[in-house]
Structure 1
Amino acid sequence: MADGSQGTVRCGGKPKGPHQKNRLSAVFVKSAPPGRHFDGNGLFLLVEKNKARRWYQRLTIHGRRREAGLGAPPVVTLAQAREQAIENLRLAREGRDPIEERKANKEALTSARRTPTFAEAVEGCMEKKAPEFTSEKHEKQWRSTLGRYAVPVIGKRRVDEIDANDILAILKPIWMDKTETAKRLRQRIEAVLRWATVAGYREGENPARWKDNLAERLPSPNKIAKTRHQPALSLSEASVWFAKLKEREGNSARALEFLALTAARSGEVRGMTWAEVDLANGLWTVPASRMKMNREHRVPLTEGAVTLLRDLPRHKTSDFVFFAQQGGKLSDMSVSAVMKRMHEAEKRAGGEGFLDRTSQRPAVPHGLRSTFRDWVAEQTSYPGELAEIALAHKVSNSVEAAYRRGDQLDKRRQMMAAWAGFLLGESGKVVPVEFGHG
């Protein structure tokens, strides 16, 4: 066919030599080097120097050479790009202009469905992610960081108008001083904009992505962030602190005592139900749905922990072990408040309070897990891997992975009994209590 005739289409830019369609493969698309890579039917994969990729098709329509953008992988797969390229050829041969028709369709869709603001997109993303949140606290953290830092800056902007400069305006003020918060905030903004892209409200690269984007404009968080651990109770003060805790009354104090004995997380203890507890065998089984690693965790209970649970009052309508006044779950603040009051009481008595030995900040409940880990490392011969299992930490290497194929329950029972003895100020090896069946 000659150029310029009605409906004539010519693919441009193809390599010289025999014509060959479907030259690319899905594997190649994922790792293609920078440059233009021809597939057939005028379809090209363009890979920029920064590894950004996009599909485009060269066409000659009504005698005019045109380029049609077809999206970017992985959102648009190789198969989808090929399908669209063939459809464009078909439309052009019918005397139609696929590029102009696509623009018209997009404008009609935009007018029929309003593009949401970033604040509205946050709600859409949160609704989609709801089943993924490991706890109510996790969801609140997402809302809190986005609501505090991002929404005031770009909340009223349409998602298709947001660019990298907007993201930098949010992150730069806190990047150096609140690096960990800023790092998580960036990830959450990226997730919101990814939702908006998949939902069809925006196109192109995500302006909040790190690699080959913000990484070139912000210092690496790994090089500027100093890990700020949760303030931990000093080993030298552990038994004194624990004795004073046992003198305090209330469910919050008992929850903190149980947390100390088990080295568990606050959320795991506060969400604990009687259905998870086997008092006869001294065992607490936390379901995967309530664990940070989304994996069931068995906790051996010492004699003191079992006695504590047996002496607790039970709510008539609530199954929570450590229930709030109305029967619901205790708040994180209520448990933290016990530790804060203990610190303040110690200061009023003329002491320094219960401080982290390194940062000199008042110890907090989560820091008790660090105290337990320090005790294992500094005052016992128990292997560190056993402590990591007790803390339900993420496996960090293949050695621990092999070690953790079983949860070492009996060995951990001995270790936790020794830990309880340490908290009680007892010297020497603590013999674990044997629990019967039934």
Structure 2
Amino acid sequence: MALTTLKVKTAKPGRHTDGRGLCLLVKDSGARTWVLRMQKDGRRRDYGLGSVFDVSLAEAREAAVALRRRVREGFDPVAEKQKARKIVPTFEAATRTCHETLGEGWKGGHHAKWLASFEKHLFPRIGKKPVDQVDSPLVVEALAPIWLEIPETARRILQRISVVLDFAHIKGWVPEEVSLRSVRKGLPRQNDKRGHMEAMPYVDVPALMTKLAAAASTTGRDALRFTIYNAVRSNETRFAVWPEFDLGKAIWIIPGERMKARETHVVPLSPSVVALLRKRWDERANDTGLVFSNNGEKPISDMTMTKLLRDDGIEGVTVHGFRSAFTDWAAERTRFPKEVADKALAHKLPNKVEAAYRRTDFFEKRRTLMARWAAFLDKAPGQAGEDSPTPSPLPPMPHAA
């Protein structure tokens, strides 16, 4: 039954219909408001039309007719009200907020790389766009210049954009979840091979090490030699600080928070590495700073070591790939068990049961293995002779500084 002016004034708490979705909503407090209930995109929504003290019954009916017409034409009053209530940040601002919020648990290297990829490749193109305007076509346009040039980086950035847009949706900046599944269909097929990092054949590494040692000493060259000698990841080198080292005992203790497996890793240092570190110690900026840094505070770029390879005409090979070269050398030129080489690389055993029972870190065997690897790397190019098939004694270690 349609409402009357008298009923509008005297109706008890509850919802009272007038027809075609127009309702009078009376609360226990006595507040009386007009509500238009409509169906839009499969969802039933209530649209407020104001208080009865401001809008009469006749005016409410007129407003309902007008609103129905606008909704049929595509107008969304709820979305408009949300936009008016909230300031939508730019894509760059949303990304930085996402990075600050989610990045607290990330490792230092990943934390820096994550944001750097946006700063270099995306912010100049779409950083100023409101985040709620970033959709699949815009992402395709932004990624197109790097999709084939640096495919692995482009794929990672695509994943990171999804994280940002999901974060923006949760924050209420983007009204609906944005799917980027169709982005790849708008970009050319990538033909690069995904998988292991490209590695230099281990037989070629000594020549590279000889060339690095003969060239003028720089922080980057020292870092690359150190990384290859120890078969560690580049970030483990870049963020190494002096308190982690005991040159008297020839060990390097990398804390768990800097390791991929989140477990402390003790690296036995070969005489060649100790000599390299003693030289850097004599040139240090301070006693507690970064080892491979010009001022002890700012780490070298993650591209510094790679650039040395490219400047020398070595294409495709990655710094990470020298870990594979070490693995191949250990398998083909020594008789050390595979698990010793794996422990030298700080690999976690995939079998959890085996990992629970094998608690040894093979430290003494690893010390001999790493000394043998350093001796192989220091061998002059073309020098005759194979590596001894059995582990040889470790040469005496230098005295502590």
| Displacement after TM superposition at 1:276 (Å) | 0.3
* Equivalence for 1:261: 229
1:22-421 paired onto structure 2 within 5 Å: 97=35, 99-101=46-48, 110-135=83-108, 138-151=110-123, 154-171=126-143, 178-208=150-180, 210=181, 217=185, 225-227=192-194, 230-252=197-219, 253-312=221-280, 313-317=282-286, 319-320=288-289, 322-332=291-301, 333-336=303-306, 338-339=308-309, 343=312, 361=315, 363-393=317-347, 396-398=350-352, 401-402=355-356, 405-421=359-375
Q: Distance in 2 between matches of 1:107 and 1:183?
A: 35
| Displacement after TM superposition at 1:277 (Å) | 0.8
% of aligned pairs identical? 31
* Equivalence for 1:430: 392
Kindly provide the CA deviation profile for residues 197-242 of structure 1, in whole angstroms up to 9, marking residues without a partner as x. Answer: 222212222323x4xx668x57999x96512754433322233333
Q: Distance in 1 between matches of 2:296 and 2:113?
A: 24
Amino acid at match of 1:284: W
| Displacement after TM superposition at 1:182 (Å) | 2.9
SS in 1 for 2:176: coil
Gaps of 5+ in 1: 10-59, 67-87, 345-354, 356-360
SS in 2 for 1:284: strand
Q: Is the 8 A contact 1:8 1:63 kept in 2?
A: no
SS in 1 for 2:267: strand
| Displacement after TM superposition at 1:150 (Å) | 3.9
Gaps of 5+ in 2: 36-44, 50-75, 380-385
Change (3 A) 1:204 1:403: farther
| Displacement after TM superposition at 1:148 (Å) | 4.9
Change (3 A) 1:89 1:384: farther
Q: Is the 8 A contact 1:266 1:365 kept in 2?
A: yes
Q: Distance in 2 between matches of 1:219 and 1:388?
A: 39
Q: Is the 8 A contact 1:320 1:327 kept in 2?
A: yes
| Displacement after TM superposition at 1:152 (Å) | 5.2
Q: Is the 8 A contact 1:243 1:424 kept in 2?
A: yes
| Displacement after TM superposition at 1:195 (Å) | 2.0
* Equivalence for 1:73: none
Q: Distance in 2 between matches of 1:321 and 1:152?
A: 32
| Displacement after TM superposition at 1:287 (Å) | 1.6
Change (3 A) 1:381 1:402: farther
Q: Is the 8 A contact 1:271 1:320 kept in 2?
A: no
Q: Distance in 1 between matches of 2:204 and 2:269?
A: 23
Q: Which has the larger radius of gyration?
A: 2
Q: Distance in 2 between matches of 1:319 and 1:291?
A: 19
| Displacement after TM superposition at 1:261 (Å) | 1.6
Q: Is the 8 A contact 1:233 1:367 kept in 2?
A: yes
Kindly provide the CA deviation profile for residues 330-374 of structure 1, in whole angstroms up to 9, marking residues without a partner as x. Answer: 524554455456x36xxxxxxxxxx5xxxxx36453332221122
Kindly provide the CA deviation profile for residues 349-405 of structure 1, in whole angstroms up to 9, marking residues without a partner as x. Answer: xxxxxx5xxxxx364533322211221233233343433332234654547745765
Kindly provide the CA deviation profile for residues 392-425 of structure 1, in whole angstroms up to 9, marking residues without a partner as x. Answer: 3465454774576553323322321221222233
| Displacement after TM superposition at 1:115 (Å) | 1.0
Q: Is the 8 A contact 1:324 1:330 kept in 2?
A: yes
Q: Distance in 1 between matches of 2:308 and 2:144?
A: 37
Q: Is the 8 A contact 1:421 1:427 kept in 2?
A: no
> How many equivalent residue pairs?
344
Q: Distance in 2 between matches of 1:192 and 1:284?
A: 37
Q: Distance in 2 between matches of 1:281 and 1:289?
A: 23
Amino acid at match of 1:317: N
Change (3 A) 1:231 1:183: closer
Change (3 A) 1:283 1:403: farther
Q: Distance in 2 between matches of 1:314 and 1:244?
A: 22
Amino acid at match of 2:284: H
| Displacement after TM superposition at 1:116 (Å) | 1.3
Change (3 A) 1:307 1:89: farther
| Displacement after TM superposition at 1:101 (Å) | 4.8
* Equivalence for 1:35: none
Change (3 A) 1:186 1:408: same
Q: Is the 8 A contact 1:242 1:257 kept in 2?
A: yes
CA RMSD of superposed structures (Å): 4.3
SS in 1 for 2:341: helix
TM-score normalised by L of structure 2: 0.68
| Displacement after TM superposition at 1:285 (Å) | 0.9
SS in 2 for 1:100: strand
Kindly provide the CA deviation profile for residues 262-289 of structure 1, in whole angstroms up to 9, marking residues without a partner as x. Answer: 1112222232222101223221111233
